Structure formats: C-alpha cells, structure tokens
A and B are shown apart, each in its own frame.
Chain A
Amino acid sequence: MYSKKVMKYFRHPRNMGEIKNADGIGKVGNPQCGDVLEVYIKVGKNKKGKEILKDIKVKTFGCIAALATSSVITEMVKGKTLNEALKISNMDIAKELGGLPPIKMHCSVLSAEGLRKAIEDYYKSKKKMN
C-alpha cells in the first residue's frame, strides 16, 4: 500500500518535535478525523538578505502517511526562501515520497497547509512587532 520511501520516513521520521521560541507556528487538522499537525519554524536570512526557513520541526498525530509527509516536508523546505516554501504543494510532497495511496492524499494536504499557516503566523507576528 505504501511506497518504500513513505515507510522509511515513517520508520525514522526527521525533524520531529518543537522549536522553543519559534518564529511561526501552524496548527492544522482535527483530532476527530485522526490527524493533527503542529509546524514550528525559525526564520533567518540568506546571503542575499532574503528570508529563509532556517529551521523547521513538526509534531504529528496521525497515520503513516501523515507522519511521512510531515517529516519529508521539513527536509524539502529547509534552507528555502519563504516564497519558495509557500509554493510547495501537496502533490510535490506526495511525489517526493514516491506516491501515496489515493485515500491518503489528504494527509499530504495537511502538511502543506501546516507549513503555510506557520509562515502566515510568522508574517502576522512580524506585522504586530513593526
């Protein structure tokens, strides 16, 4: 049912956990449906002065697909600019994992959404500060 890569990420999920003093937090999902995601980001700047994702961590309550997608997305976006990160779609995540069973596609939507919310949260708190 699941690709080898999905199982690899499920078995050894990367970047799981929280970031203390995160710059942005994205919470998505619904425990009733069986999946909840918290995405924590730390924002930095690259050489060109653009904002990048310096660090990212997730906490996931969910199935194999939820764990694997939320784990792989952290690797996909680390070091990327915020704009680049926002462009990552759930299809990209599924592709990166060698595909997902159709019934589990919504779990990948969640990861992309979680990241988007975390970045939005960052922008919001930045506005407040200015």
Chain B
Amino acid sequence: MKRIYLDHGATTPVDPLVVKAMLPYFTKKFGNASSIHSFGLEAKEALEEAREKIAKKIKALPEEVIFTSGGSEADNMALRGIAFAHKRKGNHIITSSIEHPAVLETCRELEREGFKVSYLGVNREGFIDLSDLEQKISEDTILVSVMHANNEIGTIQDIKEIGRICEEKNVLFHSDAVQSFTKAPINVRKINVDALSFSAHKIHGPKGVGAMYLSEGTPFNKLVFGGHHEFDKRAGTENVPAIVGFAKAVELAKEKYVKQMAGLRDYLIKEIEGRIPDSKLNGPKGNKRLCSNANFSFAFIEGEALLNYLNFDGIAVSTGSACSSQSLEPSHVLKAIGLPHEIIHGSCRMTLGRENTRKELNFTVKSLEKNVKKLREISPLRKGVKYNKEEFGHKH
C-alpha cells in the first residue's frame, strides 16, 4: 500500500541532500569544533559556515545565532535566559494561550519561580488582540513571547506589529518560529524581535538540532553550563553533523515550495469543505495561514477513531482529540479559539510537505469522506440532538 504522509507539522523526512551534506562529518571530518588542530578547525569551519547560512536567512549576524538541541530547548533558553537576566527590572511576562507546550510549560515553571505570567486569549481564528497586548504591558513587564505561526491551526500572528508595540513599550520580544521558519518570511532587521526559536526537523533537516536567535547585546543568563561554546551562551560540544544538515535544509527551502504548498492547502480545504458536510476549518484562510496547514473539525465523530481509519488507508494525520493523548486533555489551542469539546474531539490536522501531490490529496479526501461517513453512521451524535451531563451522569 502506498503511504501518504500529511503530518509534516510533527516532523519531516530528511532531504537526501541534507543527509549527503552531513555524512562526512560523522566519519572523516569528525573533529571537535573546540579543538585547535586540523581536525578541530575543519569542524569549526563547517560550524561557522552553517551559522552564517542560517543567520543570512533571517538577516541576522552570525553571532546572533546560537545552536541548541531543538526548538524546545530554544524556547526554554530564550524565555528563562531573558527572564532571569531582567529580573531586576521586573517579573512580568506576557504570552498567548495557544503557544507550544515548550513555551507554556516554561512559563508555568517561571511562575513557580516567582514570575508573573499573563496569557493572552485569541479570537476564533487564533489571533491575539493587539490592543489587549498593549494594555497588559505594565511597568513590570520584561518579556513578550508570542509564536509566529501556530502549529495546530496555522494562524500567523502579526509579529511586525507585536514587535512595534514591544519596542514602543521597551519590553523584549521572543517569538517561537519553529513552524514558520522558511515558510513565512522573517527579517529580524525589519521586525523588532529580540529572540526567535527554530528547529531543523520541521524543514527536512535532522532531529535534535535547532537554534535560538538572540539580538546582539541582549542581557542573557545561560541555561547549560560547562565550556564556553556558542559565545558563552550554551555549553556543550556542538553537534556538527546535525548543524551542517540544518544549514543545508535552510538552503534547500525555496520560496517556490511555499507557493506550491499554499496551492495544495487551498485545494485540500476547498475539496473538504465542498464534499464533507458539517466540517469546519479551524484557523484563518489565505495568506495569514501557514502554507502547510489545514485543520478541520468533523462534527459528530471522534478524532482518534478517524485518525486510525485513515491510517488503515495509509494516510498519516494528527488530531487534537483528547482520546488519543496520554492525559485525555483536548487541544488547548482548539479550546482557546472557543470550540466546544465535542467538536474538538472530531478534529483532524493535515500538514503538507513539498513532496505531497494533488493526487495524494484526492485520495485523502476520498478516504476522509468514506471514513467520516462510516463513523457518523455509528455515532449517536447528530444534528439537533443535545446531550447534557445530568442526563448521562457519567464522569470521565
């Protein structure tokens, strides 16, 4: 059976050219970038070349790019590093309620450590309210962290405007750009952003490597102690093969793929909306939506069941339904945009990659149509029928 991968928001296959670029750094050019003999220099050269390539992509300086073990570490580092370095100035942080757990959980930890955190709500499409942000910034505010593009519903925030507000109010601004990197333009010289988080494996690079952009001169407390690697901001021998692969992946991420994916995304949305009744697109339409993301809720059915029926047809997607997660907590993002629980349960996220084709999408829509219908036939939920807790008396 041919398999169709529509879960690029989770991870992407590594581009063969990326693998090719990485290979010599395992066996031949294996030196430690901190060593000063020829083996070390070879590695160091590769490391700095990679840093330059990534910096160039966002118009940053090479020394503003610090390599990490991935997006989560970059988020942790940026938030904690900035928060603790600015503790004297204030202890208030503002973030949004639809951030990735790497940001939300770090914020919760910071709260336990004495910081105050405000969580901005979002509208039905997942956008924060800029005037709300402005109002929440107080004397005590030191940092605003709002993601660039949301991983679940693809909403692209107006980070230029957020940056402007932060600049005006003199607070630092971090943005988690893990989902948007190379898919939506970021020019750090044009937006007032102080820190960004990136990850390689979402853009056809290897897993376990990412980066944090930190604008020059920003006070920062490091998280990982040891040697003086990465401009003394993160200790630990650099993962040179992965970093080389990361840079290669950035180089291969072309503008044309963004257009291609956006076209496929719109096609997929149109087909589903046209062919599956009682389906609802979550997140905005058009260019304020990540080119690779389509997220639907199908009324009256449950997402884990749908995901698995699609899987039987060889199609890989993800769901925000509680039933498939270890905690049985439904997606916090879908909750934040105001969806009722029973609708969240029927959610399905499809995230495109550059190797997906229209033919694959046609097959997917057919499979969706068939399986949604099948699940609806055996579902007791239907239009107009209201179920309430009292009547059922069941606790989860």
A: residues with CB less than 8 A from B are 10-11, 13, 16-17, 27-38, 58-64, 66-67, 103, 106, 110, 113
Contacts and interface: CB of A to CB of B under 8 A. Distances in A.
Given A32-B342, A34-B323, A61-B300, 17 more contacts: A27-B391, A29-B394, A31-B342, A31-B381, A32-B389, A33-B341, A34-B302, A34-B328, A34-B345, A35-B323, A36-B380, A36-B381, A59-B380, A61-B345, A61-B380, A62-B302, A66-B302
B341 A31 contact: yes
A26 to B, nearest CB: 10
Q: Which of A13, A58, A61, A110: most chain B CB closer than 10 A?
A: A61
Contact of A103 (B312, B326, B379, B395): B326
A60 B380 contact: yes
A61 B389 contact: no
B225 to A, nearest CB: 38
Interface in B324-379: 324, 326, 328, 330, 340-342, 345, 377-379
The 10 closest A-B pairs by CB, nearest first: A63-B323, A33-B396, A31-B342, A59-B380, A38-B380, A16-B378, A32-B341, A34-B345, A63-B304, A61-B379
Main secondary structure on A side of the interface with B: mixed
A106 B322 CA distance: 14
Contacts of B394: 28-30, 33, 35, 110, 113
A37 to B, nearest CB: 7
Interface residues of B, number: 31
Contacts of A62: 302, 305, 323
A13 B309 CA distance: 12
B221 interface: no
A109 to B, nearest CB: 8
B387 interface: yes
B308 interface: yes
10 contacts: A17-B378, A28-B393, A35-B323, A35-B394, A59-B380, A60-B379, A61-B380, A63-B321, A106-B396, A110-B394
